[in-house]
Amino acid sequence: MSRFARQLPEARGLGMTSQRARDRLIERLVAEGIRDRRVLDVLRQLPRHLFIDEALATRAYEDTALPIGQGQTISQPYVVARMTEVLIEQALPRRVLEVGTGSGYQCAVLASLVEQVYTVERIDELLRNARRRFRKLGLGNIRSRHDDGRLGWPDEAPFDAIMVTAAGAELEEALLAQLAPDGVLVAPVGPPGRQELLRVRAGADGWQRETLAPVSFVPLLGGVA
């Protein structure tokens, strides 16, 4: 039984939200090319059904994005797995910044793998719900903040890795500036319909930029709500 299921009976799930449903999702992710055992193990354990509205819980282990209110979505499990894999491929980061807390699911995945996660969300109501979930699941290594995440979290910079989970028109300079030497940033960039997942590495002789795959994310917006 996973650590979450031991702590919290509702994390165990039933029928469409059971361990069997999570296991089937993992099989599918493996078939789709996810290879990192650390990532697969976390997704196998983490109760995604507790990060969405109860009315949608039976769909929690479909490999699809789902609405979380305020016009926002919880990312598709494949995308969460792939972005996490890409972020930790070279080295396991110690301190990670996430921009776009949303449901808190991606953040909980990261918190299960690294020492400390910092997450920023611009919509207060979503952030409140995510914080409640972190508490319930006993995830004590997450600090969260209601702000425009395009500015990063300057007081806590630099970060070993930064993950952006909403698509901006361009890479945010402020975020690149908060990467530690050898740090990695993963972000979707581009207009709706033409977004690409980018990985940027902060090397001794400048930024190294790789285009990984076409993706579809909600937009990175300015200000707070």
**Structural contact between residues 65 and 78, judged by C-beta atoms closer than 8 angstroms:** no
- Of 1-9, 14-22, 24-32, 122-130, the window that binds ligand SAH (rule: CB under 6 A) is 122-130
Find the binding residues for ligand SAH in span 143-182 (CB under 6 A). 148-150, 165-166
Residues 6+ apart with CB under 8 A from 179: 158, 159, 161, 162, 185, 200, 202
Peptide linkage before 158 cis (omega within 30 of 0): yes
Show contacts with ligand SAH in window 87-106 (CB under 6 A): 99-100, 102-103, 105-106
Tokens representing 27 are 């099989």
Reading the block at residue 90, the tokens are 């070279």
* CA gap 139, 132 in Å, rounded: 10
Sequence-distant (≥ 6) Cβ neighbours of residue 15 within 8 angstroms = 21, 58
Q: Applying CB under 6 A, which of residues 16, 56, 171, 221 lies at the interface with ligand SAH?
A: 221
Alpha-carbon 125 to chain mean position? 18
Shortest approach of ligand SAH to residue 109 CB, angstroms?
A: 8
Q: How far is the CB of 206 from ligand SAH (least distance, A)?
A: 25
| Chosen residue from 57, 121, 157, 199 binding ligand SAH by CB under 6 A | 121
Q: Judged by CB under 6 A, which stretch of 32-40, 175-183, 200-208, 214-222 contacts ligand SAH?
A: 214-222
The residues that bridge with 215 in the sheet, in sequence order, are 195
Tell me, yes or no, if 75 is annotated catalytic.
yes
Among the listed residues 2, 75, 103, 216, the single catalytic one is 75
Instruction: Write down the least CB distance from residue 217 to ligand SAH, Å.
Output: 7
List binders of ligand SAH among 25-84 (CB under 6 A): 72-75
Number of residues that bind ligand SAH (CB under 6 A): 23
Dist CA 152 CA 159 (whole Å):
10
SS3 category, 156 = helix
Find tokens 């979380």 and name the residue: 68
Q: Which is nearer to ligand SAH, 82 or 150 (CB)?
A: 150
CA 123: distance to chain centroid? 16
Binding ligand SAH (rule: CB under 6 A), the pick from 122, 137, 160, 195 is 122
Which amino acids are annotated catalytic? 75
For binding to ligand SAH (CB under 6 A), which residues are involved? 72-75, 99-100, 102-103, 105-106, 120-123, 126, 148-150, 165-166, 218, 220-221
